[in-house]
Amino acid sequence: MENQIYQDTIAGEKLSFDRFREEVLKDYRIACESREASLLGRREVLTGKAKFGIFGDGKEIAQVAMAKFFRPGDFRAGYYRDQTWMFASGLSSIEQFFAQLYSNPDVEHEPFSGGRQMNAHFATPFVNPDGTWMPLADTKNVTSDIAPTAGQMPRALGLAFASSLFRNSPALKPFTDLSHNGNEVCFCTIGDAATSEGHFWETMNAAGVLQVPLAVFVWDDGYGISVPRKYQTVKGSISEALKGFQQKEGTNGIDIYRVRAWDYAGMCEVFEKGIRKTRETHIPAVFHVEEVTQPQGHSTSGSHERYKSQERLEWEREWDCLPKMREWLFQNALASESELEELEAAAKISVRTSKDRAWEAYCAPIQEQLTHAVFLLNGLLGQGGDRDTRVQQIIKDLTSKREPLRKDIMHALSAANLLTKEPAIEQYYQALKDLNRDIYNSYLYNEGPASALNVGETPKEFADGAPMVNGFEVLNRYFDTLFAHNPKVMAFGEDVGKIGDVNQGFAGLQEKYGKERIFDTGIRELTIMGQGMGLALRGLRPIAEIQYLDYLLYGLEPLSDDVATTHYRTMGQQSCPLIVRTRGHRLEGVWHSGSPMGMVLGSLRGMYVCVPRNMVQAVGMYNTLLKGNDPALMVESLNGYRLKERLPSNLLEYTVPLGVPEIIREGTDITIVSYGSTLRILQEAAVILEQLGIQCEIVDVQTLLPFDRPQTILKSLRKTNRILFVDEDVPSGAVAYMFTEVIEGQGAYRWLDAAPRTLAAKAHRPGYGSDGDYFSKPNVDEVIEVVKSMMEE
């Protein structure tokens, strides 16, 4: 019996060792394949097959180690050096990696962005075609990468923060498809130089305060492109600089670990311990991965030999993680020299085969289009003379290109169409235009069942004797009803929780619904947006508050680069239904009176921009937005919170359709277009103008994005033949946008009897006090003066 136990023990130990050996060799094979992909990828760029390349060589061993602890339910918010992690996690094949390098627009081959992002920008699907969320608790999840340095940090905070809410909020316990009791860790990667960005520091401070399961891996290769670390980071080390953040007994904070990028066994040990602690305790962690090499330099746009010394280059060759792991495998008798050589040779063949398949798949549809185009072009020949000569030149220019692009085919067809007007050429040209429009210009917003544009109007209802209440009371009663019926909704921001926001929209509601659903944040707009984005990506419905419209500047980068582009850059595979709530317009003084709507319109395409004139309209827009999956900015009128409004009885049901203006005063002489608080100035001016015999029709656009889908403004202009656009943004800001949408977009110039006009604020911020406002922004007297001059034309 004792002998049997001994034999079983020996057999078990051998089996355990064999499995360990198999796992380690698999990691080394993945690392070798990833390195070969980097080497071949650079070559493809330099030979012109790909436009640009940025690769993860030098980080292979660290990433196969970290991938071991990336579990189903976890999230990744990384950056463009993470190819090995994706290979090791089974979330990207080598062939898909090259398909993205070639910008293949077919999601069957390039599933991360459909060719819309450059290489190593990964993503996994979060939503079904009907807009419902996938069971994210059971899959490894990758949020779509962006290139702006440290841009992944705010989103990473939100993804980790969602785990905290799922663990601590009773209202979220039923959503087991989205979380398993908040056990999910958000893995975030960042280059050492990018830790100099404010995004990094604001995120780490917020993570330490909130205590969320965020694991940040810092790849430290000693440089930020050509700038050495000593010019980037105080003390020359991010882990040293962060020591004040270190979590200690009785305090909040973060854990800090230091590892070396070539030490496979050491990293596995530290990562396992650190990630387990973060998962269990929700204490965030920073893993400072030092002694990273960069064998090919920063990217294909330059050579690191220009700025690295010979000594540094020799050190990088000696301490490259691949030969160091190879050495470790050999020293520990885990593989023989011949086994390693065989593995390395197989890796090279496998990657080259995958690359070739990706290139063939990329070229096939282009070649098919080219063949058909040349067939049609050859059909134009036979008439002789100059026409044949020019068609032959078009064919020659097209067929002589070594790697033709879709645009080359379009250019050839366009040139031939101008020359011949042949129906077959025109038809194929239009067919390709339609096809390419779908490939490159779709999915800015949800286009299916989850589109808020599919939500029609449900009228307001009023009970007999409906009370007149302050605008903030309308919002307060609405939010009370909303939170009672929708457990996925939460609201947060500066002063939102305890005091119920500065204008009392949430007054008393934190006590009623709990601190996990309505809560305060620090003064940190950037990461408030990040919290909102992370919650939205994980299937919740956050309302993130920016206290005043001016402060949107602090949170603009993640909204513009990340939130607004998510649906587009994933070809509809991820949605981010974040509602950003703020307030503005007509507040006096330099620092709270900004109305940067032109900036908003230029930078937030992919979000809806709602500008309700009162709080009842705002409620209808909130209801509409919550029925769709797109992000939105809600700008409430700051001076409308204490204006009396009639309280609807169907607060949770009525909806205001997006992009549908409302005529709030009818007239026959001139159409005046605006939104928000400025409408009250126009209404006051219209009363005086009526006494002068001028009938003004006032149109409230209600939303700027989308803008006047039924062309209500054009219908008004057909009646009045004069139009004035008014706003308190700077000249050529939102007024220019509205002007262009109507005069050019709707073809309204055909109906004008007088030159169209715009009336905006001055180019500067208003001075303090009511006089500063009067002389800086459109006022009643100015509106009357402009309208009278237009009527005299």
| Residue 579 DSSP SS3 | strand
Q: CA of 199: how far to CAs of 77, 121, 150, 205, 554, in Å?
A: 14, 19, 6, 10, 11
Cα–Cα–Cα angle for 664, 667, 670, nearest 5°? Answer: 105
Task: Say what angle helices 2-46 and 94-101 make with each other, to 10 degrees.
Answer: 20
Contact between residue 776 and residue 782 where contact means Cβ atoms under 8 Å apart: no
- Strand 608-610 relative to strand 757-759, pairing: unpaired
Give CA 416 to chain center in angstroms: 40
DSSP letter string over 53-79?
----TT-HHHHHHHHTT--TT-EEE--
Beta bridge partners of 491: 518, 543
Tokens read off for 145: 């990468």
Residues with catalytic function: 592
Q: For every residue of 518-553, which 3-state class applies, written as one string?
A: EEECCCCHHHHHHHHHHHHHCCCEEEEECCCHHHHH
Contact between residue 152 and residue 110 where contact means Cβ atoms under 8 Å apart: no
Tokens read off for 312: 């540094």
Taking residue 660's Cβ as centre, other Cβ atoms within 10 Å add up to 17
Residue length of the chain: 793
Task: Work out whether the CA dihedral 120, 124, 126, 131 comes out positive or negative.
Answer: positive
Task: Work out whether the CA dihedral 338, 339, 340, 343 comes out positive or negative.
Answer: positive
Residue 562 per-residue DSSP state: I
Buried b (16+ CB within 10 A) or exposed e, 317-354: eebbbbebbbebbeeeebbeeeebeebbeebeebbeeb
Q: CA of 260: how far to CAs of 81, 265, 278, 320, in Å?
A: 17, 10, 20, 11
Half-sphere exposure for 114 (CA within 13 Å, toward CB): 19
Tokens read off for 491: 């609201």
Buried b (16+ CB within 10 A) or exposed e, 11-21: eeeeeeeeeee
DSSP letter string over 685-707?
HHHHHHHTT--EEEEE--EEES-
Give CA 318 to chain center in angstroms: 40
Q: End-to-end CA distance of the chain: give it in Å, rounded.
A: 111
Give the distance between the most distant pair of CA atoms in the chain. Answer: 113
Q: What gap in Å lies between CA 173 and CA 792, rounded to an integer?
A: 67
